[in-house]
């Protein structure tokens, strides 16, 4: 096969869903840090979100499966710790999808600006820890719905 | 006359100290899973444990690399016995009640956050990268444990009494964090890690501020139990912990999935 371009690889990776929040892709999440051909070996640099996130191994497996399905035979996944992952790397597309899904996207202020369900700004923190390491647990004081907030890190 | 430690030997010891601290504390905190007083705290404890165990994979992974015997982080975590562990005694003491667990967490988080701040400037790029990654997580561990210590210390009569008891019990385990030996001297010389003793002033300032807010009194004594980070004398608790943590590898050596 002819060697697919890096742009093509990025597009393929943009169709691989995050295992915990399947509405956003791994590219939206900002964990893919580089795609590079070294001869006939494709190297993909991946950074973990949280050190202990159990999704990390699944993410690597999903990348491998997706690229092998596209015919990539020689693949190397490289763990890249620095620079450390930050929620600033979430794509705008990803942020919009998170809110549609009911998860408030991260805000520089350190808390959600509005309820992802009714869009009221009257929200309160229940706990700094939510259903996964990357999320905090908040509640809307108007519609009374609890919701996840993607923590800023 | 003893010869100075070789750099790589000392580096390995340093990495085991970092990784064993997060491993053993991570395991201790995970013991709360399903037992915390309220659901939110249960999730918070489980998430903190996960972070710590994830951080362990970085430290012990690098330890295996430096050691050069082809060992993985899992090999190092599950195939050593008590005398090979290099964690502080503080992190192996049993959980006690919820307040006791959070006091231990706070005393550790305060040290951990200062230590990682210094390691950002490590001459070893791999150490600096791990510090950069993990310092972000430890910042919110500290925020939570400090808030909880203040909430319970400056809380009801009962919660205050329990928090003071926890502080009195755990205080003699604090001093070990700041003891230096030839491993530390080699790390300082190589620019890899700071002298533990140099962290004490910043640590005292941080915990004094929080514990004053919690209306708790820091004990006068500077007596410190020691032997964990050197591996000379662990408490009897570590062996019991390992029988649980390493149960699978002990019952089914080499098991894999």
- Asked if residue A97 belongs to a domain, the reply is no
Q: Among the three residues A88, A115, A131, which one is the final residue of a domain in this structure?
A: A88
Q: Do B133 and A131 touch (CB under 8 A)?
A: no
- Does the structure show a pLDDT above 80 at A133? no
Quick: pLDDT tens for A88-102: 999 999 999 999 999
- Pick from A31, A51, A83, A89 the residue to mutate for testing the B interface (most B CBs within 10 Å): A51
- Asked if residue A49 belongs to a domain, the reply is yes
pLDDT band at residue A132 under the 50/70/90 scheme: confident
Q: Smallest CA–CA separation between A81 and chain B, in Å?
A: 6
- Does the structure show a pLDDT above 90 at A109? no
Q: Which residue of A has its CA nearest to B50?
A: A52
Say yes or no: ipTM exceeds 0.85.
Answer: yes
Give the domain extent around A17: 6-88
Quick: pLDDT tens for A67-85: 999 999 999 999 999 999 9
Same domain, A82 and A119: no
- Asked if residue A39 belongs to a domain, the reply is yes
- Does the structure show a pLDDT above 70 at A60? yes
Q: Whole-structure pTM over 0.95, yes or no?
A: no
- Asked if residue A95 belongs to a domain, the reply is no
pLDDT band at residue B3 under the 50/70/90 scheme: low
- Does the structure show a pLDDT above 60 at B4? no
- Does the structure show a pLDDT above 90 at A56? no
Nearest CA-CA partner of B238 in B74, B109, B85: B85
Same domain, A109 and A138: yes
Enumerate the residues of chain B whose CB falls inside 8 A of the CB of residue A84: 129, 132-133, 136
Which two tokens mark A37? 């051909």
Same domain, A47 and A113: no
Q: Do A52 and B49 touch (CB under 8 A)?
A: yes
Quick: pLDDT tens for B156-215: 999 999 999 999 999 999 999 999 999 999 999 999 999 999 999 999 999 999 999 999
Quick: pLDDT tens for B227-244: 999 999 999 999 999 999
Same domain, A110 and A136: yes
DSSP class of A130 = -
Report yes or no: B18 at the A interface, CB cutoff 8 Å: no
Same domain, A84 and A10: yes
- What is the C-alpha separation between B182 and B173, in angstroms, rounded? 21
Q: What is the CATH number of the domain that holds A47?
A: 3.30.300.130
Same domain, A22 and A80: yes
Same domain, A20 and A84: yes
Quick: pLDDT tens for A26-49: 999 999 999 999 999 999 999 999
Same domain, A15 and A69: yes
Question: How high is the mean pLDDT of chain A?
Answer: 93
Contacting B with CB below 8 Å, chain A residues are 48, 50-54, 56, 81-85, 126-133, 137, 151, 153
Quick: pLDDT tens for A142-153: 999 999 999 888
Domain count, chain A: 2
- What is the C-alpha separation between A99 and A32, in angstroms, rounded? 22
Enumerate the residues of chain B whose CB falls inside 8 A of the CB of residue A53: 50, 54
Q: Do A128 and B143 touch (CB under 8 A)?
A: yes
Cβ(B126)–Cβ(B133) below 8 Å: no
Q: Do B129 and A48 touch (CB under 8 A)?
A: no
What is the pLDDT, as a whole number, of residue B1? Answer: 44
Quick: pLDDT tens for A16-29: 999 989 999 999 99
Q: Do A53 and B54 touch (CB under 8 A)?
A: yes
Enumerate the residues of chain B whose CB falls inside 8 A of the CB of residue A51: 51, 54-55, 57-58, 133-134, 137
- Asked if residue A15 belongs to a domain, the reply is yes
- CB-CB: which of A54, A127, A151 is closest to B40? A127
Provide the 10 A C-beta neighbour count for residue B120. Answer: 12
- Report the Cα B74 to chain-centroid distance in Å: 18
Peptide linkage before B132 cis (omega within 30 of 0): no
- Asked if residue A94 belongs to a domain, the reply is no
Q: Do A51 and B54 touch (CB under 8 A)?
A: yes
- Asked if residue A62 belongs to a domain, the reply is yes
Nearest CA-CA partner of B51 in A151, A147, A97: A151
Q: Among the three residues A34, A55, A88, which one is the final residue of a domain in this structure?
A: A88
Q: Do B137 and A51 touch (CB under 8 A)?
A: yes
- Pick from B19, B47, B77, B143 the residue to mutate for testing the A interface (most A CBs within 10 Å): B47
Same domain, A137 and A76: no
Q: Smallest CA–CA separation between A3 and chain B, in Å?
A: 32
Same domain, A107 and A73: no
- CB-CB: which of B40, B51, B129 is closest to A50? B51
Cβ(A136)–Cβ(A122) below 8 Å: no
Same domain, A78 and A12: yes
Q: Do B134 and A51 touch (CB under 8 A)?
A: yes
Q: Do A82 and B40 touch (CB under 8 A)?
A: no
Same domain, A81 and A11: yes
Q: Order of strands across the sheet with A41-46?
A: A32-38, A41-46, A75-79
Quick: pLDDT tens for B94-147: 999 999 999 999 999 999 999 999 999 999 999 999 999 999 999 999 999 999
pLDDT above 70: percentage of residues in chain B: 98
**Helices B236-245, B7-30: inter-axial angle, 10-degree rounding:** 80
Q: Do B44 and A129 touch (CB under 8 A)?
A: yes
- Asked if residue A32 belongs to a domain, the reply is yes
């Amino acid at each position: 096969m002819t060697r697919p371009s890096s742009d093509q690889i990025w597009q393929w990776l943009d169709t691989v869903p995050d295992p915990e929040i399947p509405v956003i892709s791994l590219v939206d999440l900002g964990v893919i840090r580089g795609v590079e051909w070294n001869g006939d070996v494709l190297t993909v640099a991946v950074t973990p979100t949280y050190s202990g996130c159990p999704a990390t191994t699944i993410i690597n497996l999903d990348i491998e499966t997706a690229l092998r399905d596209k015919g990539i035979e020689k693949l190397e996944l490289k763990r890249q710790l620095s620079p450390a992952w930050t929620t600033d790397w979430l794509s705008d597309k990803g942020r919009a999808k998170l809110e549609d899904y009911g998860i408030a996207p991260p805000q520089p202020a350190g808390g959600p600006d509005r309820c992802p369900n009714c869009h009221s700004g009257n929200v309160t923190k229940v706990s700094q820890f939510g259903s996964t390491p990357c999320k905090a647990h908040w509640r809307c004081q108007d519609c009374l719905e609890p919701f996840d907030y993607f923590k800023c890190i | 006359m003893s010869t100075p430690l070789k750099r790589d030997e000392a580096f390995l010891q340093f990495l085991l100290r970092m990784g064993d601290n997060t491993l053993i504390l991570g395991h201790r905190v995970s013991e709360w899973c399903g037992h915390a007083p309220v659901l939110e705290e249960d999730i918070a404890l489980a998430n903190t444990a996960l972070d710590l165990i994830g951080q362990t994979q970085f430290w012990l992974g690098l330890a295996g690399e430096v050691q050069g015997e082809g060992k993985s982080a899992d090999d190092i975590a599950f195939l050593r016995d008590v005398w090979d562990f290099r964690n502080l005694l503080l992190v192996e003491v049993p959980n006690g009640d919820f307040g006791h667990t959070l006091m231990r967490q706070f005393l550790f988080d305060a040290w951990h956050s200062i230590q990682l701040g210094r390691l950002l400037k490590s001459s070893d790029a791999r150490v600096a990268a791990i510090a950069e990654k993990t310092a972000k997580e430890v910042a919110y561990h500290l925020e939570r444990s400090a808030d909880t210590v203040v909430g319970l210390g400056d809380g009801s009569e009962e919660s205050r009494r329990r928090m003071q008891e926890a502080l009195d019990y755990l205080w003699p385990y604090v001093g070990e964090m700041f003891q230096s030996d030839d491993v530390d001297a080699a790390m300082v010389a190589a620019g890899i890690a700071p002298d533990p003793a140099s962290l004490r002033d910043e640590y005292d300032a941080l915990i004094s501020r929080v514990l004053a807010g919690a209306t708790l009194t820091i004990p006068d004594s500077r007596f410190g139990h020691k032997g964990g980070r050197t591996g000379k004398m662990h408490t009897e608790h570590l062996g019991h912990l390992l029988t649980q943590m390493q149960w699978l590898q002990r019952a089914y050596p080499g098991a894999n999935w």
